[in-house]
């Protein structure tokens, strides 16, 4: 789970707790449209505004945001977050070997070289630069394939890795999560510009 997804889940849990503690829904305007009434008939809120039309609109707005509606909205947002960044549910973090196996370690870059099956003389030669010279720093990625190589139909592949020259890449934050975090931009745990969409 990413930090921004954890942040969003915590904010949703806070808002859900507030909605669950409120008077039960559904809420609706009373006959005069100057109060919001809960399902049990208890007045939830009095509407106050500068004009009768604004008063009715205010009451309708409050009634439309009853606990059930808010919880449904929060559940939809939580499902979207889980779709983008699934929770790990007590899973252990991936090991370096597991990340190398799927060529996803943030501190490494990966390459694959290939040649004809059983006729390839350069299976142990690391990737080459544009001039055909072996590039420095590459090592066999022994966690991918069969100890760093694989045989397919008519070709063989060798898998390579090396530390990224510029250091580990920054984690990618999907723009959708940044958009969902915008309403919480004033929260002390929000990362400001780093989470701006």
**Residue 1: is its pLDDT beyond 70?**
no
Q: Which two tokens stand for residue 4?
A: 């921004």
- Cα–Cα distance measured from residue 76 to residue 63, given in angstroms and rounded to the nearest whole number: 20
pLDDT-derived band at 66 (thresholds 50, 70, 90) equals very high
Taking residues 56-74, report their average pLDDT.
Answer: 94
Quick check: 141 and 110 in contact, CB under 8 A? yes
Backbone angles phi, psi at 67, to 5 degrees: -55, -40
Q: What pLDDT is attached to residue 2?
A: 83
**DSSP assignment of 62-108, as one string?**
HHHT-HHHHHHHHHHHHHHHHHHS---TTPPPPPHHHHHHTT--TTE
Task: Give the three-state DSSP class for 129.
Answer: coil
- Cα–Cα distance measured from residue 173 to residue 153, given in angstroms and rounded to the nearest whole number: 38
Backbone angles phi, psi at 53, to 5 degrees: -65, -45
Q: What is the pLDDT of residues 76-134, one digit of tens each?
A: 999 999 999 887 665 567 789 999 999 999 999 999 999 999 889 888 999 999 998 88
Mean pLDDT of the chain: 91
Q: 0.85 exceeded by the pTM? A: no
Taking residues 32-50, report their average pLDDT.
Answer: 89
Q: Find out whether the peptide bond into 25 is cis, omega within 30 degrees of 0.
A: no
């Amino acid at each position: 789970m990413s930090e921004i997804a954890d942040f969003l889940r915590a904010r949703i849990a806070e808002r859900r707790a507030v909605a669950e503690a409120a008077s039960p829904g559904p809420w609706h305007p009373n006959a005069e449209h100057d109060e919001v009434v809960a399902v049990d008939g208890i007045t939830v809120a009095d509407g106050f505004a500068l004009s009768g039309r604004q008063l009715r609109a205010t009451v309708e707005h409050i009634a439309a945001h009853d606990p059930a509606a808010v919880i449904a909205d929060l559940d939809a947002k939580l499902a979207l977050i889980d779709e983008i960044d699934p929770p790990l549910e007590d899973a252990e973090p991936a090991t370096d070997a597991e990340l190398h196996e799927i060529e996803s370690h943030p501190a490494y870059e990966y390459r694959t070289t290939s040649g004809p099956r059983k006729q390839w003389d350069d299976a142990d030669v690391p990737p080459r630069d544009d001039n055909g010279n072996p590039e420095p720093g590459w090592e066999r990625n022994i966690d991918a394939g069969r100890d760093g190589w694989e045989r397919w139909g008519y070709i063989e592949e060798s898998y390579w890795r090396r530390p990224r020259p510029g250091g580990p890449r920054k984690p990618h934050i999907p723009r959708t999560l940044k958009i969902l975090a915008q309403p919480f931009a004033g929260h002390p745990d929000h990362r400001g510009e780093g989470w701006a969409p």
